[in-house]
């Protein structure tokens, strides 16, 4: 809804939802989406939808989030176009049957893994990168030969409206449809049977999605969030670290699932970090960030109040920013020094432009702290000390890890993107998206000839046949005593 209660995007009538699903399921059953040339045409359409309407996407993203064009390009439109091109270029290879190694007994058979589409996919997007988080999963689903229902986030209605208008002009409506709406619409979709549900958003809603999917035994991919830490060791160049932290945190006003949520800094360099952050923020956004065209806004009043409340309750020291303006949904880039583990800012994911800094006596204390919490979506380490970096990597868990940078993992589409444990289930991007929406169907094609070879499998059984079977099935993989398990004693073998 707009501030004056005029709906910006028209919600799909709830009663239409089952019919929309029936339609795309009928298309899937017809086999239309199986052809690789059809899939490539659709991916071209998706690419062109972005490429030919960049201005409209700029306008819609500005209205929803005051998103600067460069952030739209880097975080959304550029990567969508790139993923489309990659999928089109590689589709023949990704979709071709994968040969596997076999035993002597299967030498003359055709044994492979088929990459079959899973069927009808539901993609539920969220609002912070509303184009990207709806369409990048769709690229994988289309490439893998599925039909798709897309549910844009109602919290970014201008983008939802634009995608709803454009999609039918570029993609085949028989195969790919949009359902708009809020919680009742998502709930109505979840009551129906899909073949895969791909959800991006909060863990709380993720649990609702997974529970609904479980009723139908529908597989899910859940792209969730969490508190992603950034370790700052004493040895690094603090000026560079400040810049790389600032771009990660204040891009999209901190409303990024992989933004560094908080900093764990080694005692002794915290004041220098604050000083360098001040310089950096002045350089990035000027003395009045509210007037900077490079700085976005909070998506809604609800999120604005949540963030301002977090700042009010903190026991830490606000050393940069802290000011906000409700009618502009503006919160200044803010640093809060000396937060303690029980601070209001250290409980839930911040998802806004507030960066708490926790000072620790050693990086080991930081590792212990991170390990006492849920596994985060991302983990950042700033240090030139390889031993320390490896120690932190070896002794923590997270969806992704980046050393001496922030956020870049998202743009490297050959890396799977996803969480672990409470930060998510499954991953996507590039080929991984194709795999996510494909079923790996183990396929054995034998001829009806050479029946004599088969007699070793048939009764009457004998010791001789066991010997033959051992040779035919397993002679290529001979057991190496103690090699795989050096700790095992001979007596156990
Ligand atoms: P959200 O989870 O509230 O909403 C996302 C979608 O869920 C919407 O389409 C909405 O209609 C639906 N939804 C909301 N409540 C529902 C309910 N009760 N029942 C059924 N459907 C419901 O979005 P949010 O929490 O504001 O998103 C922010 C979170 O998303 C953060 O935790 C962030 O880290 C995470 N996120 C993760 C990624 C990622 O790629 N891992 C990307 C962006 C955001």
Is 180 in the same domain as 219? yes
Q: Using pLDDT thresholds of 50, 70 and 90, give the confidence band for residue 486.
A: low
Whether 35 maps to a domain, the answer reads yes
- The active-site residue out of 71, 76, 86, 223 is 223
- 3-state helix, strand and coil shares in percent for the chain, rounded to the nearest 5: 45, 15, 35
Kindly state if the Cβ of 183 falls inside 6 Å of ligand 1. Answer: yes
Calculate the average pLDDT of the chain.
Answer: 95
240 and 293 part of one domain: yes
Q: How far is the CA of 43 from the centre of ligand 1 (A)?
A: 26
pLDDT of 420 higher than 80: yes
Closest by CA to 437, choosing from 218, 177, 142, is 142
pLDDT tops 90 at residue 489: no
Q: What is the pLDDT of residue 481?
A: 58
Q: What is the CATH number of the domain that holds 136?
A: 3.40.605.10
> Which atom of ligand 1 lies at the shortest distance from residue 417's CA?
40
Same-domain pairing of 85 and 209: yes
Residue to probe by mutation, ligand 1, list 149, 202, 419, most atoms within 8 Å of CB: 202
pLDDT given for residue 484 in this prediction: 55
Assign 336 to helix, strand or coil.
Answer: strand
Quick check: CB of 254 below 6 Å from ligand 1?
Answer: no
Other residues' Cβ atoms within 10 Å of the Cβ of residue 469: 15
Q: Does residue 263 belong to any structural domain of this protein?
A: yes
Give the pLDDT of residue 7: 63
CA distance 194 to 216: 8
What is the per-residue pLDDT across 221-264, written as a single tens digit (0 to 9) for each? Answer: 999 999 999 999 999 999 999 999 999 999 999 999 999 999 99
Residues 49 and 80 in one domain: yes
Range of weakest confidence among 1-10, 120-129, 407-416, 484-493: 484-493
Q: Please count the other Cβ atoms lying within 10 Å of the Cβ belonging to residue 385.
A: 15
- Average pLDDT, integer, range 403-421: 97
Atom of ligand 1 nearest to the CA of 181: 11
For residue 303 and ligand 1, the question of a CB distance below 6 A is answered with: no
Q: Is the pLDDT of residue 167 over 90?
A: yes
440: annotated active-site residue: no
pLDDT in tens, 194-214: 999 999 999 999 999 999 999
Please tell me the total count of domains within the chain.
3
Residue 329 lies in a domain: yes
Paired tokens of 111: 């044994």
Q: Identify whether 325 is part of a domain.
A: yes
Residue whose C-alpha is closest to residue 321's, from 329, 331, 313: 331
Distance 127 CA to ligand 1 centre (A): 8
Q: Is residue 8 situated within a structural domain?
A: no
Ligand 1 geometric centre to CA of 349 (Å): 13
Q: Residue 125 sits in which domain range?
A: 14-224+429-440
Q: Are 270 and 359 in contact (CB under 8 A)?
A: yes
Q: Is residue 96 part of a domain?
A: yes
pLDDT of residue 487: 56
Pocket test for ligand 1, best of 126, 153, 413 (most atoms within 8 A of CB): 126
Q: Which two tokens stand for residue 482?
A: 């103690």
pLDDT band, residue 453 (cuts 50/70/90) = confident
pLDDT at 292 > cutoff 80: yes
Q: Are residues 256 and 161 in the same domain?
A: no
Our answer to whether residue 223 is catalytic in this structure is yes
Question: Which residue is it, tokens 């007037």?
Answer: 291
Indicate whether 270 and 354 sit together in one domain. Answer: yes
Which of 75, 122, 201, 213 has most ligand 1 atoms within 8 Å of its beta carbon, as the pocket-test mutant?
A: 201
In the chain, the percentage of residues whose pLDDT exceeds 70 is 95
* Ligand 1 binding pocket includes 201 (Cβ within 6 Å): yes
Measured in angstroms, how far is the CA atom of residue 100 from the centroid of ligand 1? Answer: 39
Residues 406-419 have a mean pLDDT of 96
Residues facing 382 on adjacent strands:
232
The residues pairing with 445 across neighbouring beta strands, listed in sequence order, are 110
CB of residue 202 inside a 6 A radius of ligand 1: yes
Q: How much is the average pLDDT of 125-135?
A: 98
Ligand 1 neighbour 179 (Cβ under 6 A): no
Which ligand 1 atom sits closest to the C-alpha of 128? Answer: 43
Q: Is residue 6, in this structure, part of any structural domain at all? A: no
Atom of ligand 1 nearest to the CA of 418: 41
Q: How confident is the model at residue 316 (pLDDT cuts 50, 70, 90)?
A: very high
Residues 411 and 436 occupy one common structural domain: no
Nearest CA to ligand 1 atom 22: 183
Note whether residue 254 is domain-resident.
yes
User: Do both 282 and 362 map to the same domain?
Assistant: yes
Check whether 493 has a pLDDT greater than 60.
Answer: no
Listed residues 386, 418, 450: the one ending a domain: 418
pLDDT given at position 490 = 47
Ligand 1 atom with the shortest distance to the CA of 206: 2
Q: Are residues 395 and 475 in the same domain?
A: no
Are 280 and 378 members of one domain? yes
Q: Are both 185 and 292 inside the same structural domain?
A: no
Mean pLDDT of 13-19: 98
Same domain, 311 and 256: yes
- Domain containing residue 248: CATH number: 3.40.309.10
Residue 158 confidence (pLDDT) above 60? yes
């Amino acid at each position: 809804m707009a501030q004056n209660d005029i709906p910006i995007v028209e919600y799909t009538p709830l009663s239409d939802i089952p019919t929309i699903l029936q339609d795309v399921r009928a298309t899937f059953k017809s086999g239309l989406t199986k052809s690789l040339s059809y899939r490539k045409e659709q991916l071209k359409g998706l690419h062109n939808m972005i490429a030919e309407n960049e201005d409209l996407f700029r306008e819609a993203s500005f209205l929803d989030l005051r998103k600067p064009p460069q952030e739209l390009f880097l975080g959304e439109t550029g990567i969508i176009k790139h993923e489309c091109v990659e999928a089109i270029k590689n589709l023949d290879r990704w979709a071709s049957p994968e040969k596997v190694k076999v035993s002597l007994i299967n030498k003359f058979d055709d044994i492979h893994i088929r990459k079959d589409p899973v069927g009808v996919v539901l993609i539920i997007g969220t609002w912070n990168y509303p184009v990207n988080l709806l369409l990048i999963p769709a690229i994988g689903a289309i490439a893998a030969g599925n039909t798709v229902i897309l549910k844009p986030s109602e919290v970014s209605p201008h983008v939802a409206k634009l995608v709803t208008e454009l999609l039918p002009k570029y993609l085949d409506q028989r195969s790919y449809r949009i359902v708009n709406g809020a919680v009742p619409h998502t709930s109505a979709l979840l009551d129906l049977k899909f073949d895969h549900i791909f959800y991006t958003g909060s863990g709380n809603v993720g649990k609702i999605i997974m529970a609904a999917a479980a009723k139908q035994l529908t597989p899910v991919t859940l792209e969730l969030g969490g508190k992603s830490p950034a370790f700052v060791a004493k040895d690094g160049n603090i000026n560079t670290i400040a810049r790389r932290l600032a771009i990660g945190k204040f891009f999209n006003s901190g409303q990024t699932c992989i933004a560094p949520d908080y900093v764990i800094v080694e005692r002794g360099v915290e004041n220098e970090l604050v000083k360098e952050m001040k310089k950096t923020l002045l350089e990035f956004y000027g003395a009045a960030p509210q007037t900077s065209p490079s700085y976005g806004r909070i998506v809604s009043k609800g999120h604005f109040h949540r963030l301002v409340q977090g700042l009010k309750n903190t026991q830490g020291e606000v050393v940069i920013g802290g000011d906000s303006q409700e009618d502009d949904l503006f919160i200044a880039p803010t640093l809060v020094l000396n937060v303690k583990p029980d601070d209001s800012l250290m409980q839930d994911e911040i998802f806004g432009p507030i960066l708490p800094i926790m000072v620790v006596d050693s990086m080991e204390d930081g590792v212990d702290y991170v390990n006492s919490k849920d596994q985060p979506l991302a983990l950042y380490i700033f240090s030139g000390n390889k031993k320390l970096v490896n120690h932190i990597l070896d002794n923590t868990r997270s969806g992704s890890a980046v050393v001496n940078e922030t956020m870049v993992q998202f743009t490297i589409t050959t890396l799977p993107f996803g969480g672990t444990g409470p930060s998510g289930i499954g991953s996507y991007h590039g080929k991984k998206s194709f795999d996510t929406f494909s079923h790996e169907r183990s396929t054995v094609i034998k001829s009806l000839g050479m029946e004599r070879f088969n007699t070793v499998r048939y009764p009457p059984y004998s010791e001789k046949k066991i010997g033959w079977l051992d040779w035919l099935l397993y002679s290529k993989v001979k057991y190496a005593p103690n090699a795989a398990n050096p700790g095992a004693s001979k007596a156990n073998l």
